[in-house]
Structures are given as structure tokens and as C-alpha cells.
Amino acid sequence: MHASNALDPQSPQARAIYDLGIVATIVFVLIFVVVAGGIVYAIFRFRGREGEPEPKQFAGNEKVEIIWTVIPFLIVVFLFALTLRGMNRADPPPAPSPDLVVTGHQFWWQADYPASGVVTANEIHIPAGKPLSVRLDSKDVLHEFWVPELARKMTTVPGQPNNIWIQADKPGVYLGTCSEFCGTQHAWMRIVVVAEEPSKFEAWQQAQLQPAQTATSDPAAKGLALFQTSTCMNCHAIRGVPGANAIVAPDLTHVASRKQIGAGILENTPANMRKWLKNPQHVKPGVLMPDFNFTGQQLDELTAYLDTLR
Ligand code: CUA
């Protein structure tokens, strides 16, 4: 995983935006050079010198005025046409039904794949080379979904879904982020896009569709019991665990298969999971998960259980 780079487009959609940006920048630089160059030239070439007579005064020059109206007009028309082409490539109309629905929450992302029924959080898998129509929604406040290498950025508005297209030319891991301030943990609302060969993506989908395996031996079995008897189920779903189907917080059915915890704040290792469970507020102040004051043994059991959710 590397830092995201808006100047390194990895999809036709992102490239359309990048190309437009490059052309526009070249045009702007040329205009700047011509205008600033003309000013600098005039300053030195026509500066007043002692003893020289007053220069000839004149007003109006039809030819010059036509030139400096027509040229900017043509530049604007040129950029307008390029922008239309770029919009058409980067932001075509959405598909009738989305391939992926991403919902912003304070402070994490829910990802639903309507066709297959997969539900996950913060880590989106996509098949490389295929454009996906993504519907963006929000459960609470304005967020903004942005994976700079793969797609344009787009605000998520509660009750007013927006749509973008996302695509990756080749397999790889691409980082995204929430790019609209949404509260204390706005900075830790990362998104990981894993682009895979279509067959690997299919295998991932199949694995995600499996219900969680039931923990039968200790300490994981004790951890499962803890999950069921504490208030975890009020917010988290684990498919296969009776009653655990709330969708307030990330679905944990395959939490151990994900790369990160807390929408990017920790690498997903058992040690970090224990740290997170010990006091989420310490790891990510303002996160909606409370501190449960688990004992050391309870932390070990819960960590062992969550680690079985692969
Ligand atoms: Cu969500 Cu910023």
C-alpha cells in the first residue's frame, strides 16, 4: 500500500480528469508567460528616461481589441469542449442499478454489493479492468468519497444519493479518504480499494458471502459468548450469529480478512485488535464505539474470537 497520488491516475476516469488538468495548466502557464512577459517587456522597453519628451497619447485600437477578445474567447471555447469530453469520460450517467453502494458513517464506510449481497466496511474489493457504477450515500452528515487514483471525488449526502464510476486498470491496492470535514475523526475515515484479477475478486466475494464459522474451542468460544452477552450486537452484525444483524457499525462477519481497524487507524493484527477493544476512545477519540472496560482475560477471548472471522 502506498500513499494516494492524485497525479498518478490508474483508471480511464481518473486519467480523463488528469489530462484535462494538464492541458488547462499548460494553457494557463502560456497565458501567464505572454501577459507577464508583455508587462515586463513594456516596463523596460518603454520606461520614462530623463529629458525624453512625453510619449504620443492615443485611445482605442480596434484591431488590438478584436484580437484580445477573440483569442480569449477561443481559449474558453477550447477548454469548454475539452471539459465536456473529460466529464463524459470521467462521469458518465450511472448504471440503472449500482454495482456497489458506499455509505458514509461517522467515521467509517459501509460497502454493499447489491448483486451478490456482500456487505463489508472500509475495504472495497473490485475486479481490475471493469468499470463499476458506485452509488454514494450517507447515514449522518456530509462525507466525501475520494480515491484519487481511480475516480473523481464525490460528496455523500444523507438521503440524496450521488453516483460515480470507479475502475482500476490493473490489480493493486489504492488508498482513499474522506475529503469533507465530518467531525472529530474525519482524518481517520480511510478507504482501501483492492483491485484484483476477476477470478480472485469472485473468490473474495464467495468467501465474504459465507456466514461466520462458529467458534467451538476456548478462548474463541468464550469470546463469542462475550460478543453475544455484551452490547456488541446492538451495533455490529456477524452473519451466522443469531441476533447479530445490526448495521449501525461495521459488519464483522469477516473482520479478520480486512487489512485495517478503525477505518485505517491501525493495521489489523490481533495485538492491535486487543488494543482497540481495550479502549477504542483512546485509539480513536470520538469514535462511536464506547469503552467497555473489558478485563484482560475478556480482551484475550474477544480478540481470539474476532481473529477466527476470516
Ligand atoms: Cu467523513 Cu470526513
**What is residue 176's DSSP assignment?**
E
Note the helical H segments in the chain.
12-45, 62-90, 198-209, 220-229, 270-278, 280-283, 296-307
SS3 156: strand
Any ligand 1 atom below 6 A from CB of 236? no
Q: Whose CA is nearest to atom 1 of ligand 1?
A: 143
Q: Does residue 138 have a pLDDT over 90?
A: yes
Query: How remote is the CA of residue 21 from the centroid of ligand 1, in Å?
Result: 25
pLDDT at 136: 97
Predicted confidence (pLDDT) per residue in 185-212, tens digit: 999 999 999 999 999 999 999 999 999 9
pLDDT at 152: 94
Could you give all domains of the chain from N- to C-terminal order, each with its CATH number? 12-90 (1.10.287.90), 218-306 (2.60.40.420)
How does the average pLDDT of the chain come out, rounded?
94
- How far is residue 308's CA from residue 288's CA, in Å, rounded to a whole number? 24
Percentage of the chain beyond pLDDT 70 is: 99
What length is written for the chain? 310
Q: Using the atom order of ligand 1, give the atom closest to the CA of residue 183.
A: 2
Predicted confidence (pLDDT) per residue in 85-103, tens digit: 999 999 999 999 999 999 9
Q: Using the atom order of ligand 1, give the atom closest to the CA of residue 179.
A: 2
Predicted confidence (pLDDT) per residue in 39-54, tens digit: 999 999 888 888 888 8
User: Among residues 187, 255, 269, 268, which one has the least CA distance to residue 227?
Assistant: 255
pLDDT at 48: 84
Query: How remote is the CA of residue 69 from the centroid of ligand 1, in Å?
Result: 44
Q: Give one word for 68, left, alpha or beta, with left for phi > 0 and alpha for psi -120 to 50.
A: alpha
Any ligand 1 atom below 6 A from CB of 181? yes
Q: Which residue has 482497540 as its cell numbers?
A: 276
pLDDT at 51: 85
User: Among residues 168, 96, 183, 81, which one has the least CA distance to residue 138?
Assistant: 183
Any ligand 1 atom below 6 A from CB of 143? yes
Q: Using the atom order of ligand 1, give the atom closest to the CA of residue 189.
A: 1
How does residue 1 score in pLDDT terms, banded at 50, 70 and 90?
A: low
Is the previous residue joined to 80 through a cis bond, with omega within 30 degrees of 0?
no
Query: How remote is the CA of residue 298 from the centroid of ligand 1, in Å?
Result: 32
Predicted confidence (pLDDT) per residue in 140-198, tens digit: 999 999 999 999 999 999 999 999 999 999 999 999 999 999 999 999 999 999 999 99
| Cα distances (Å, whole numbers) of residue 58 to 40, 50, 61, 69, 237 | 21, 22, 9, 20, 80
Query: How remote is the CA of residue 9 from the centroid of ligand 1, in Å?
Result: 23
Query: How remote is the CA of residue 236 from the centroid of ligand 1, in Å?
Result: 20
pLDDT at 52: 85
Percentage of the chain beyond pLDDT 90 is: 87
- Mean pLDDT of all residues in 54-83: 93
* Neighbouring C-beta atoms of residue 31, cutoff 10 Å: 13
Any ligand 1 atom below 6 A from CB of 186? yes
Predicted confidence (pLDDT) per residue in 261-285, tens digit: 999 999 999 999 999 999 999 999 9
- How far is residue 138's CA from residue 156's CA, in Å, rounded to a whole number? 5
